[in-house]
Amino acid sequence: MGKRVAVVLAGCGVYDGSEIHESSAVLVHLSREGAQAEVYAPDVDQMHVVDHVKGQPTQEKRNVLVESARIARGNIKDLAKLDVKGLDALIIPGGFGVAKNLSTWATQGKNCIVSKEVEDVLKAFHAAKKPIGLCCISPVLAAKIFPGCELTVGHDTECEKWPYAKTAETMKELGCKHVNKHVTEVHVDVKNKLVTTSAFMCNAPIHEIYDGIGKMVKEVVRLA
Protein backbone atom coordinates (compact mmCIF):
# COMPACT_ATOMS: atom_id res chain seq x y z
CA MET A 1 0.00 0.00 0.00
CA GLY A 2 1.25 3.50 -0.84
CA LYS A 3 1.47 6.18 1.82
CA ARG A 4 -1.74 8.10 2.54
CA VAL A 5 -1.07 11.82 2.49
CA ALA A 6 -3.51 14.53 3.54
CA VAL A 7 -3.41 17.59 1.27
CA VAL A 8 -5.08 20.62 2.86
CA LEU A 9 -6.35 23.30 0.47
CA ALA A 10 -7.47 26.88 1.13
CA GLY A 11 -9.69 27.68 -1.86
CA CYS A 12 -8.99 27.93 -5.58
CA GLY A 13 -6.77 30.67 -6.98
CA VAL A 14 -3.54 32.36 -5.95
CA TYR A 15 -4.98 35.65 -4.60
CA ASP A 16 -7.72 34.27 -2.34
CA GLY A 17 -7.22 30.49 -2.17
CA SER A 18 -4.69 27.75 -2.88
CA GLU A 19 -2.18 28.33 -5.67
CA ILE A 20 -3.50 26.05 -8.42
CA HIS A 21 -0.16 25.12 -10.02
CA GLU A 22 1.36 24.29 -6.62
CA SER A 23 -1.66 22.19 -5.63
CA SER A 24 -1.60 20.34 -8.94
CA ALA A 25 2.18 19.77 -8.66
CA VAL A 26 1.70 18.26 -5.18
CA LEU A 27 -0.97 15.87 -6.47
CA VAL A 28 1.06 14.87 -9.57
CA HIS A 29 4.24 14.22 -7.56
CA LEU A 30 2.34 12.25 -4.89
CA SER A 31 0.93 10.06 -7.67
CA ARG A 32 4.43 9.58 -9.11
CA GLU A 33 5.71 8.52 -5.67
CA GLY A 34 2.94 5.91 -5.44
CA ALA A 35 1.24 7.78 -2.59
CA GLN A 36 -2.50 8.27 -2.17
CA ALA A 37 -3.61 11.89 -1.76
CA GLU A 38 -6.62 12.64 0.42
CA VAL A 39 -7.74 16.22 -0.07
CA TYR A 40 -9.31 18.29 2.70
CA ALA A 41 -10.39 21.90 3.19
CA PRO A 42 -12.20 23.79 5.97
CA ASP A 43 -15.93 24.39 5.48
CA VAL A 44 -15.73 28.17 6.06
CA ASP A 45 -16.26 31.35 4.07
CA GLN A 46 -13.24 32.87 2.36
CA MET A 47 -11.91 36.10 3.89
CA HIS A 48 -12.88 37.70 0.58
CA VAL A 49 -13.05 36.94 -3.16
CA VAL A 50 -10.49 38.48 -5.53
CA ASP A 51 -11.10 39.10 -9.23
CA HIS A 52 -8.01 37.41 -10.68
CA VAL A 53 -8.09 39.60 -13.82
CA LYS A 54 -8.13 42.93 -11.97
CA GLY A 55 -6.42 41.72 -8.79
CA GLN A 56 -9.13 43.52 -6.80
CA PRO A 57 -11.58 42.21 -4.14
CA THR A 58 -15.23 41.83 -5.18
CA GLN A 59 -18.48 41.77 -3.16
CA GLU A 60 -18.93 38.05 -3.88
CA LYS A 61 -18.89 35.40 -1.13
CA ARG A 62 -17.34 31.96 -1.61
CA ASN A 63 -16.80 28.89 0.56
CA VAL A 64 -13.29 27.45 0.99
CA LEU A 65 -14.39 23.79 0.80
CA VAL A 66 -16.61 24.36 -2.24
CA GLU A 67 -13.86 26.27 -4.09
CA SER A 68 -11.13 23.75 -3.14
CA ALA A 69 -13.32 20.98 -4.58
CA ARG A 70 -12.57 22.43 -8.05
CA ILE A 71 -8.89 21.45 -7.67
CA ALA A 72 -9.75 18.08 -6.11
CA ARG A 73 -12.18 17.27 -8.96
CA GLY A 74 -14.90 16.92 -6.32
CA ASN A 75 -13.03 14.27 -4.31
CA ILE A 76 -12.62 16.26 -1.08
CA LYS A 77 -13.57 16.09 2.59
CA ASP A 78 -14.31 18.65 5.28
CA LEU A 79 -11.11 19.31 7.29
CA ALA A 80 -13.14 18.72 10.48
CA LYS A 81 -13.33 15.03 9.49
CA LEU A 82 -9.55 14.53 9.16
CA ASP A 83 -8.26 11.71 11.40
CA VAL A 84 -4.48 11.70 11.69
CA LYS A 85 -4.47 8.01 12.72
CA GLY A 86 -5.23 6.76 9.21
CA LEU A 87 -2.76 9.10 7.49
CA ASP A 88 1.01 9.05 7.04
CA ALA A 89 1.82 12.69 6.22
CA LEU A 90 0.42 16.18 5.63
CA ILE A 91 1.08 18.67 2.82
CA ILE A 92 -0.26 22.23 2.58
CA PRO A 93 0.37 24.03 -0.74
CA GLY A 94 0.70 27.83 -0.86
CA GLY A 95 -1.42 30.65 -2.21
CA PHE A 96 -2.82 33.68 -0.38
CA GLY A 97 -5.68 31.51 0.92
CA VAL A 98 -3.20 30.12 3.47
CA ALA A 99 -2.67 33.67 4.78
CA LYS A 100 -6.34 34.67 4.48
CA ASN A 101 -8.50 31.57 5.04
CA LEU A 102 -6.28 29.23 7.09
CA SER A 103 -4.80 32.08 9.15
CA THR A 104 -4.85 35.86 9.44
CA TRP A 105 -1.21 36.28 8.31
CA ALA A 106 -2.24 38.50 5.34
CA THR A 107 -3.65 41.17 7.65
CA GLN A 108 -1.75 40.60 10.91
CA GLY A 109 1.65 39.15 9.95
CA LYS A 110 3.53 37.64 12.90
CA ASN A 111 0.64 38.56 15.25
CA CYS A 112 -1.73 36.37 13.22
CA ILE A 113 -4.04 33.66 14.45
CA VAL A 114 -3.98 30.23 12.77
CA SER A 115 -7.49 28.81 12.40
CA LYS A 116 -8.14 26.31 15.22
CA GLU A 117 -8.97 23.45 12.83
CA VAL A 118 -5.72 23.98 10.91
CA GLU A 119 -3.65 24.38 14.09
CA ASP A 120 -5.13 21.18 15.56
CA VAL A 121 -4.30 19.22 12.39
CA LEU A 122 -0.71 20.52 12.25
CA LYS A 123 -0.18 19.76 15.95
CA ALA A 124 -1.68 16.28 15.57
CA PHE A 125 0.71 15.31 12.75
CA HIS A 126 3.64 16.87 14.64
CA ALA A 127 2.76 15.03 17.89
CA ALA A 128 2.48 11.75 15.95
CA LYS A 129 5.94 12.42 14.45
CA LYS A 130 4.48 12.30 10.94
CA PRO A 131 6.08 14.50 8.27
CA ILE A 132 4.61 17.84 7.17
CA GLY A 133 5.35 19.41 3.76
CA LEU A 134 4.82 23.16 3.31
CA CYS A 135 5.56 25.35 0.30
CA CYS A 136 5.36 29.00 -0.73
CA ILE A 137 3.66 30.98 2.08
CA SER A 138 2.39 27.94 4.05
CA PRO A 139 5.61 27.58 6.13
CA VAL A 140 4.36 30.63 8.09
CA LEU A 141 1.81 28.29 9.70
CA ALA A 142 4.65 26.20 11.16
CA ALA A 143 6.56 29.35 12.12
CA LYS A 144 3.58 30.42 14.23
CA ILE A 145 2.84 27.01 15.79
CA PHE A 146 6.27 25.39 16.26
CA PRO A 147 8.67 27.94 17.79
CA GLY A 148 12.33 27.32 16.98
CA CYS A 149 11.61 25.17 13.91
CA GLU A 150 13.74 25.36 10.75
CA LEU A 151 12.06 26.52 7.53
CA THR A 152 12.67 28.02 4.12
CA VAL A 153 10.57 30.40 2.07
CA GLY A 154 13.51 30.91 -0.30
CA HIS A 155 15.81 33.89 0.36
CA ASP A 156 15.78 36.57 3.04
CA THR A 157 17.06 39.45 0.86
CA GLU A 158 14.45 41.17 -1.30
CA CYS A 159 15.17 41.56 -5.02
CA GLU A 160 13.36 41.05 -8.32
CA LYS A 161 13.77 37.29 -8.04
CA TRP A 162 12.66 37.16 -4.38
CA PRO A 163 9.86 39.77 -4.03
CA TYR A 164 8.49 38.29 -0.77
CA ALA A 165 11.81 37.93 1.10
CA LYS A 166 10.54 40.02 4.05
CA THR A 167 8.48 36.95 5.04
CA ALA A 168 11.74 35.22 6.03
CA GLU A 169 12.63 38.12 8.34
CA THR A 170 9.20 37.98 9.99
CA MET A 171 9.59 34.24 10.54
CA LYS A 172 12.94 34.87 12.23
CA GLU A 173 11.20 37.37 14.53
CA LEU A 174 8.91 34.49 15.58
CA GLY A 175 12.01 32.59 16.71
CA CYS A 176 12.42 30.30 13.71
CA LYS A 177 15.62 29.47 11.90
CA HIS A 178 15.23 30.50 8.25
CA VAL A 179 17.50 28.67 5.79
CA ASN A 180 18.12 30.27 2.39
CA LYS A 181 17.43 27.82 -0.44
CA HIS A 182 17.04 28.05 -4.20
CA VAL A 183 13.58 27.40 -5.70
CA THR A 184 14.54 23.86 -6.78
CA GLU A 185 15.80 23.00 -3.28
CA VAL A 186 14.09 22.00 -0.03
CA HIS A 187 14.99 22.33 3.61
CA VAL A 188 14.36 19.42 5.97
CA ASP A 189 13.97 20.11 9.69
CA VAL A 190 14.83 16.58 10.83
CA LYS A 191 13.79 17.10 14.47
CA ASN A 192 10.31 18.44 13.59
CA LYS A 193 9.89 16.42 10.36
CA LEU A 194 9.12 19.62 8.42
CA VAL A 195 9.95 19.79 4.70
CA THR A 196 9.72 23.24 3.09
CA THR A 197 10.36 24.78 -0.33
CA SER A 198 9.81 28.30 -1.69
CA ALA A 199 7.68 27.62 -4.82
CA PHE A 200 6.07 30.90 -6.03
CA MET A 201 7.82 32.95 -3.34
CA CYS A 202 10.45 32.96 -6.09
CA ASN A 203 9.99 34.76 -9.39
CA ALA A 204 11.15 31.65 -11.28
CA PRO A 205 10.12 29.64 -14.35
CA ILE A 206 7.17 27.40 -13.54
CA HIS A 207 9.09 24.17 -14.25
CA GLU A 208 11.61 25.08 -11.50
CA ILE A 209 8.75 25.61 -9.05
CA TYR A 210 7.29 22.25 -10.13
CA ASP A 211 10.67 20.53 -9.58
CA GLY A 212 11.14 22.08 -6.12
CA ILE A 213 7.70 20.86 -5.08
CA GLY A 214 8.65 17.43 -6.45
CA LYS A 215 11.65 17.32 -4.10
CA MET A 216 9.45 18.37 -1.18
CA VAL A 217 6.92 15.62 -1.93
CA LYS A 218 9.68 13.01 -2.35
CA GLU A 219 11.18 13.91 1.04
CA VAL A 220 7.77 13.90 2.77
CA VAL A 221 6.97 10.44 1.37
CA ARG A 222 10.45 9.16 2.31
CA LEU A 223 10.05 10.43 5.90
CA ALA A 224 6.62 8.79 6.12
Report the catalytic residues.
Answer: 136
> What's the first-to-final CA gap in the chain, in angstroms?
13
- For residue 219, which of 178, 190, 179 has the smallest C-alpha distance? 190
Element (DSSP H or E) covering residue 35: none
The Cα-based distances of 188 to 109, 114, 149, 202, 220 in angstroms read: 24, 22, 10, 19, 9
Calculate the dihedral angle through the C-alpha atoms of 145, 31, 68, 195, rounding to the nearest 10 degrees.
20
List of residues 6+ apart from 155 with CB closer than 8 A: 161, 162, 165, 168, 180, 181, 198, 202
